[in-house]
Amino acid sequence: MSTTDTTTDTDGERRRELLQATNVKKHFPLDEGLFDRLFGESRVVRAVDGVDLTVHAGETVGIVGESGSGKSTLGRTVSRLYEPTDGSITFDGEHIETYSGRELRPIRRQVQYVFQDPMSALNPRKTVGESVARPLSVHGIADGDEKWARVADLFEEVGLSRSGMDAYPHELSGGQRQRVGLCRALVTEPDLVVFDEPVSALDVTLQAQILNLINRLQREFDLSYLLISHDLNVVRQVCDRIAVMYAGEIVERGTVADIFGNPQHPYTRSLLDAIPQVESGRRGDRKSLGGEPPSATNPPNGCRFHPRCPEFIDGSCSGQNPELQSVESDAGHEAACHWLDRSEGERATHTPPSPSEREIIQGSSGGSD
């Protein structure tokens, strides 16, 4: 598993850029009644607001963030379940951002999506075998006996019995249903699978089983993964590279070692500090981050994290939204903060101003709108 930076060319084929999204935006209009629509200013929810994302062939990229950070919207936009508001998306070198209808069909086959809740993703009135076989007919891949043989093989591959094909979704346990969800994603032999919180609804022992299965399938079928999760421990286990999202933007990205070993953005550090610890000596160490994520309709000026930031410095934080910039020590590791490379000592002794003081700082520095 190559977890070094993206430019290291260990194996030309493996590092091929499978999915590349550039400056992708997805805004949802707010329906505010006739008067507002006719005369008012149209307001939008900026769910994803200018994100670059690359998935190389054979790698697993994780997107983490709190609910409302836009990570699911990003997953759905780059896999073209949503139409992007702006930006470009290439899949295997082909621009797919404006595709619609028939043009999208091959993409639907090559990019598959696994949902968090397989109970609502599976048709309750069809056997799970029928649900899994459906894409084979839709895409004209296989028919008749061959179709069912493929489905049966896949069921065994993910650890379900062939007889399980005749079950209805409600007859299966949560873990079994998620295995069926995996079958359905894999049946079209995709290149990229997008997982949206694949194990959040499962107990911890089942989580481990499914994550192991996801890892094994990747090796066997040579798949690329985009994995969306709010759980840093899950992302850490299966991903090569991680992007941390906050309020519709990526605030930091790098390899698993970069993010966990040398987190640069204060938000990433807050997320890591909030993970409950079970190891001896570290229990009870978790720190909570105050405040709430900002409104996606009216995000704060400047750095979107500045109202909650435990390391707020001055007017630059509230005045200007920082761009992603490289972290000197690690190639390929980027973070969007005005104050990268501060030493641990500096951070420890720094006392940030209170939220109300931040407002004043913002006012005096004339934060642009």
What does the binding site for another protein look like in residue numbers (CB under 8 A)? 1, 3, 66-67, 156, 158-161, 163-164, 167, 171-176, 179, 203-209, 211-213, 215-216, 230-234, 236-237, 256-257, 260, 270-271, 274-280, 283-284, 286-290, 292
In the complex, least distance from residue 191 CB atom to another protein, rounded to whole angstroms: 23
**CB closer to another protein, 204 vs 348:** 204
44 DSSP β-pair partners: 29
Question: Whats the size of the chain, residue-wise?
Answer: 369
Find out whether 223 and 191 touch, Cβ atoms under 8 Å.
yes
In the complex, least distance from residue 167 CB atom to another protein, rounded to whole angstroms: 5
In the complex, least distance from residue 23 CB atom to another protein, rounded to whole angstroms: 27
- Return the percent helix, strand and coil in the chain, to nearest 5: 35, 20, 45
**CB closer to another protein, 24 vs 256:** 256
**CB closer to another protein, 20 vs 270:** 270
Residue of 223, 227, 355, 231 whose CA lies nearest to 294: 355
Look at phi and psi of residue 130 and say left if phi exceeds 0, alpha if psi is from -120 to 50, else beta.
Answer: alpha
CA atoms within 13 A on the CB side of 194: 24
Measured distance CA(123)–CA(187) in Å, rounded: 17
In the complex, least distance from residue 249 CB atom to another protein, rounded to whole angstroms: 17
**CB closer to another protein, 274 vs 360:** 274
CA atoms within 13 A on the CB side of 225: 30
In the complex, least distance from residue 355 CB atom to another protein, rounded to whole angstroms: 9
**CB closer to another protein, 141 vs 208:** 208
Measured distance CA(214)–CA(229) in Å, rounded: 14
